Amino acid sequence: MSKYIPESAMVIVAHPDDAEFGCAGTLALWAKHGARIAYVLVTSGDVGIADPKISRQEAIEIREREQRAAAAVVSPDADVTFFRERDGMVEATMDLRKRLVREIRRFKPEVVITFNPHALFVRDTYINHPDHRAVGLCCVDAVFPAAGQPNLFEELEEEGLVAFKTRKVYIMMFGTDAETSVNITETMATKCEALEQHASQFREGAPVDMLREWASENGKGKEMDYAESFKVITLESDEDWEKYKGEIAVRYA
C-alpha cells in the first residue's frame, strides 16, 4: 500500500495507450494532488492501426492525437514528448539511452515509471511486446547511472541539462510479483476515460470492464477497491532527496 505523492513524475513507455493500461490511475492520483506529469513515448504506435487504407503517417497523427487527449484527461498540463522511433523495431541502444537522459534531465522527475524489462510472459495470455522490454531496459539504464552522472553524456551539460538523480523508479507489474500497490479508487474513472481516448485501438469501445477487473484484483486483500501494482526502487532516501534538491536549486540559481 502506498500513499506517497511525488512532486513530479515521468512515465516512459513504447506506445500510445501503454500508460493508460499500466499506470494512468496512479498518474491521475498524483496530478490531482499537485504533481507535475510528463509522458515520453518512444514510438507513435505507427503500426498499431491494421488498416491498409491508413498510411503510416496518418496512423502517427491519429495515435499522437489520441495520446495527447488521454494525457490531458489525466493532467491538463501534462508534458508529452514523442521520439517517433519505428513501432515494433525499438532497440535498447546508446542513442536511445541518451535521448531518455535528455528528457529526464530536462523535466527532472522525482519518479520515473516504466516497464519491467525482464517480463516476457504476462499472466498466461500475453507475450510482452519487444518494444516494451527494450524501452524498460533502456529507461532503467538512463535513470541509473546516466541521468545523474555528470561525466556521462557531458555534452548535455553543455546544453544546460545538468545531471539529475531521480528519487524513485516505479516498475509496472500488472499484478505479478508486485510489492507496492497504489490505491486508485478515486481515479479509476479517470483511468477508464483516458483509455477511451484511444478509439483507433478498439473496434467495440475501450475494454474498461477489463481495466476495472484488473484493478480490482490488484486491490484484493488491501482494503482498496481498485489499485495499480508496481515494484518500487528507491534511489534517494528522504534525507538525501531534500539535500539533493537544495543542491539542484543552487546549481540553477
Q: Considering the domain boundaries, does residue 175 fall inside one?
A: yes
Q: Considering the domain boundaries, does residue 176 fall inside one?
A: yes
Give the chain's residues under pLDDT 70.
1-2, 174-177, 245-253
Q: For 86, which DSSP code? A: P
C-alpha cell at 226: 481498485
User: What's the confidence (pLDDT) of residue 239?
Assistant: 77
**Counting runs of H as helices and runs of E as strands, what totals does the chain give?**
9, 9
Render pLDDT for 139-163 as a digit per residue (tens, 0 to 9). 999 999 999 999 999 999 989 999 9
C-alpha cell at 242: 531534500
Measured CA to CA, the distance from residue 133 to residue 20 in angstroms comes to 17
Q: Which residues contact 86 (CB under 8 A, 6 or more apart)?
A: 43, 46
Q: Give the total number of structural domains in the chain.
A: 1
Sign of the four-CA dihedral 231, 72, 210, 115: negative
Q: Considering the domain boundaries, does residue 195 fall inside one?
A: yes
User: What's the confidence (pLDDT) of residue 238?
Assistant: 76
Expressed as residue numbers, the domain containing 202 is: 8-252
User: What's the confidence (pLDDT) of residue 87?
Assistant: 96
User: What's the confidence (pLDDT) of residue 47?
Assistant: 93
Measured CA to CA, the distance from residue 177 to residue 180 in angstroms comes to 9
Q: Considering the domain boundaries, does residue 120 fall inside one?
A: yes
Q: Which residue, 88, 109, 99, 91, is CA-closest to 9?
A: 109
Q: Domain containing 93 — which CATH number? A: 3.40.50.10320
Task: Please answer whether residues 6 and 111 qualify as being in contact, where contact means their C-beta atoms are separated by less than 8 angstroms.
Answer: yes
Q: Considering the domain boundaries, does residue 108 fall inside one?
A: yes
Q: Considering the domain boundaries, does residue 1 fall inside one?
A: no
Continuous segment of H or E residues that includes residue 81 = strand 79-85
CA distances from 49 to 22, 67, 84 (A): 20, 14, 15
